[in-house]
Structure 1
Amino acid sequence: MNGSDRGLSRRAFVRSAVAIGGASALSACLQREATEDVPQATLSPEELPDRQHAWNEFLGTDDDGNVRPPEHHLLLGLEYVGDGPADAADERERLETAFRTLERAYKRGNEGLAFTMAYGPAYFDRFDADLAGVDLPDPTSLTPLDDPELDEYDALLQVASDYGHVTLSVEEALTGELDELNGIEVDGTFDGIFEVSDRRTGFIGRGLPADNQSGVHGIPDGDPVPDDAPMFMGFKSGFKQNQASEDRVTIDEGPFAGGTTIHLSKIQLHLHQWYEQDSRGQRVSKMFSPNHNAENLVEGAGHNLGDASRVTEVGGSAAEDARNEGTVGHAQKAARAREDGEPIILRRDFDSTDDDTAATHFLSLQRSIDDFVKTREAMTGTDLDAPVFNSGILQYISVTNRANYLVPPRELRSLPAPGPSAE
């Protein structure tokens, strides 16, 4: 990563380093980022919330109170190296020691580290006993438009930080390549427990997609992604009022109470028509609703909308717009999947240029996978009388991978048994 990187902005360079991974990428990243600004933990591991997914109170917010996700993300698909069920006490202890090392090395949040450890159906299939209290189905194709690869990793580690070198350092420490992590001695690794079988990276934040769009497959030439956009499609998402709360997505009973579930999709983006043929008005209509376009509600990427997309306020009926306008918005369709007026999934998705291809890693948290399925069915909108090319953003995305995971509470995050109370 020398020579060809000289023309890159710092943010684009760091994104590239995170995507490449390894010791050389970490070294290059450390030279570009201010490592002295990364604080160690201010809370002991014992003082942290029992919910692994309780990130929001530790993350920054924008002027409208919307949670600001960490800029850099790393997803590691993990395979358990043992032949049978993971039931060795010493393995659990070593893995928990590794996670507590991370929690001591970095302050929780944007300026340090946020992470979750989750387990897939393949992991629990190793046990004779059934998974208790949680329905964790194998992933399936959910729309007639997709034929995705169905991931079968035993576990998923999600790592996030505003600093790219933090995500890389965590990976290197867990795989036994670092002896010290932000001034803390590394104690515990994945060695002999997990092997990394898949590695995905990404980013989110105002200006990051624009910084990383050039020469990427799926995005037309000419750098069309707006400078103020936090994602490749040019619009803001993750509005506070359009997200489920962490309480709503938390499993509230059974042995895994305090946990949640993850649905993870990898979505390839096809944005040539989006930017080269569709007008600005068409993009607003397809992302939000025809009324958003007609009333000129969206300025730039939509930061002016505040803490809500306003789709439930002004979006109107998705069925009527599909029938009368021939167009229905993505947000307009998704808003139909609510209970008591509230969203039922919490999105923590981010964009990616892995393999120099524009993609989105759609990562959602929900109390049950069925909540995601309901939301995805609403987003697809096969019940609506609108052609695919005017039905939200369907024609601009292809789902290439799907996976489901259980995120246990922190006390069970290290090689959980399927029925913890029986231990």
Structure 2
Amino acid sequence: MMAPDRSSLSRREYVRALVAAGGASALSACLDAVGGGDERSGVDAPPGTDDPDSLPGRQHAWNGALSSDDDGNVQLPAHHVLLALSLHEGPDEDARETTEAALRTLERAYEWSNDGLVFTIGYTPAYFRRYHGSIPDSVDLPEPVALTDRENPTFDEFDAVVHLASDRPEVVLEAEEGLVGDRETVNGVDVETDLGSVFDRLDDRRRTGFVGEGLPADRTDLSGVPDSVPEEAPFFMGFRSGFRESQATEDRVTIEDGPFAGGTTQHVSSMDLQLEVWFEQDNHYQRVSKMFSPEHAEGDLVGSVGERLETTNGLSDERIEATAADARERGVVGHAQKAARAREDGEPLLLRRDFNTGDGDRPGLHFLSIQREIGEFVRVREAMTGADLDVPSANNGILHYIFVNRRGNYLIPPRSLRSLPPADPDSEREPID
């Protein structure tokens, strides 16, 4: 894609647009915009490691390497790319070695951190259908399906997705270009092996986005993003997210048994957001009621963007148990309030790593969650849908404002099996194709 025109954009808007565009020209323009590197030498980021054993065995083990905010909540990197990949043909040992070498190049090039790069590679049910054998019972990886009668999503039926994330836009762009063979060096490390001989990059399935204070408000250039998005909000809908006590731990989302122990599952829902109605029809009190709970609004517990909540979304057991009563008696329930009903022994089931997007030149969200089983995501989504609640649809949390257009389920293996894993590593057979 062509790099965007810089003349009408702020620097932050411009570099986000470059990440969304992708490609060599976008990387070149990004390096010019941010400084600290050039097209020939590439980025100047903290270097990675030559010792793979120094990295966590879990691909999804990001939290210990990422920074935290003033309240101790993990801060996701600011810039994200979901790189969709389709295998040329059935996987074999040479393809596995090539894939592993390409991923190791990224680890040698970039520090495992916000300022460097964190990433995962995950595989769809369609990938595992290439094998005669089946995934072991210890892994719950069903085909994606529509989860409400209001949605008609397209499903991710390619083979794999790589999630690249960094605070530095030039890093995610360079890492992507290096992975697919369009760059000879990444952060000063020679790219001797890339994924180009194994996978096709599916540009029409590529997804990008961002998260961070002030970043959504910069996107009022997009159709559908009103000027009333709070300046300090990290997400398009105006509130903080990712409170550490309201997130599952990395231990909780890790598969415990079987050959894929140490891995996890990932769900990605891509959705459009109706922000004009959210901000210009509803007032702040109504938005707090629908995002959190009526009690949050009445007690002014949230603040302008969630700054009063600190490490938790503030949902007590009593307020979660009162969800049905709030629906009947107050005529409104909160999104977080409903979803919390799916907790197990009081503990959240999902670890969310979602991010805003301007893909398609419309405001949206790539809702990315990791969990031990896809069934746990489905349970939370059903609780959030609130079909059992006697409440008007416009007051049923945020359902009235989100429109799912794509869903995908993935297995993220442990690092030791991340490169084209067989369906059952304990009893590998030849792939079908």
Separation (CA, whole Å) in 1 of partners of 2:361 and 2:120: 26
Separation (CA, whole Å) in 1 of partners of 2:32 and 2:420: 36
2:28 matched to which residue of 1?
27
Q: Does 1:46 align with 2:53?
A: yes
Identify which of 309, 315, 334 aligns with 1:311. 315
2:371 matched to which residue of 1?
366
- Alpha-carbon distance, 1:392 to partner: 0.3
1:224-283 deviation digits (Å, cap 9, x = unpaired): 110110100000111101100000000000000000000110011011111111111000
Separation (CA, whole Å) in 2 of partners of 1:156 and 1:380: 27
- Alpha-carbon distance, 1:73 to partner: 0.2
2:185 matched to which residue of 1?
180
Separation (CA, whole Å) in 1 of partners of 2:131 and 2:95: 16
Q: 8 Å contact 2:265–2:373 — kept in the other structure?
A: yes
- Alpha-carbon distance, 1:187 to partner: 2.2
Query: Partner letter of residue 13 of structure 1?
Result: Y
- Alpha-carbon distance, 1:313 to partner: 5.8
Separation (CA, whole Å) in 2 of partners of 1:195 and 1:96: 16
Equivalences for residues 281-320 of structure 1 within 5 A: 281-312=285-316, 315=319, 317-320=322-325
Separation (CA, whole Å) in 2 of partners of 1:46 and 1:309: 36
Separation (CA, whole Å) in 2 of partners of 1:253 and 1:419: 13
Q: Does 1:274 align with 2:278?
A: yes
Q: Count how many residue pairs are aligned between Structure 1 and Structure 2.
A: 417
Q: Cα distance 1:30–1:419, how it changes in 2: closer, same or farther (>3 A)?
A: same
Separation (CA, whole Å) in 2 of partners of 1:286 and 1:43: 48
Q: 8 Å contact 1:226–1:234 — kept in the other structure?
A: yes
Query: Partner letter of residue 225 of structure 1?
Result: V
- Alpha-carbon distance, 1:190 to partner: 1.1
2:349 matched to which residue of 1?
344
2:80 matched to which residue of 1?
73
* Structure 1 segments of 4+ aligned residues over 6 angstroms from their partners: none
TM-score (norm 1): 0.96
Identity of aligned residues (%): 53
1:158 matched to which residue of 2?
163
1:416 matched to which residue of 2?
421
Q: Cα distance 1:238–1:125, how it changes in 2: closer, same or farther (>3 A)?
A: same
Separation (CA, whole Å) in 2 of partners of 1:10 and 1:313: 44
1:248 matched to which residue of 2?
252
SS across alignment from 1:101: helix
RMSD: 1.4
1:359-387 deviation digits (Å, cap 9, x = unpaired): 10000000000000000001100011111
Listed as ranges, the gaps of 5+ residues in structure 1 are none
Separation (CA, whole Å) in 2 of partners of 1:275 and 1:313: 29
Separation (CA, whole Å) in 1 of partners of 2:4 and 2:132: 54
TM-score (norm 2): 0.94
Separation (CA, whole Å) in 1 of partners of 2:194 and 2:4: 34
Separation (CA, whole Å) in 2 of partners of 1:387 and 1:210: 30
SS across alignment from 1:159: strand
2:41 matched to which residue of 1?
none
Q: Does 1:208 align with 2:209?
A: no
1:5 matched to which residue of 2?
6
Separation (CA, whole Å) in 2 of partners of 1:218 and 1:395: 15
2:40 matched to which residue of 1?
none
Query: Partner letter of residue 113 of structure 2?
Result: G
Separation (CA, whole Å) in 1 of partners of 2:51 and 2:305: 39
Separation (CA, whole Å) in 1 of partners of 2:3 and 2:52: 38
Q: Cα distance 1:135–1:355, how it changes in 2: closer, same or farther (>3 A)?
A: same
SS across alignment from 1:244: coil
SS across alignment from 2:380: helix
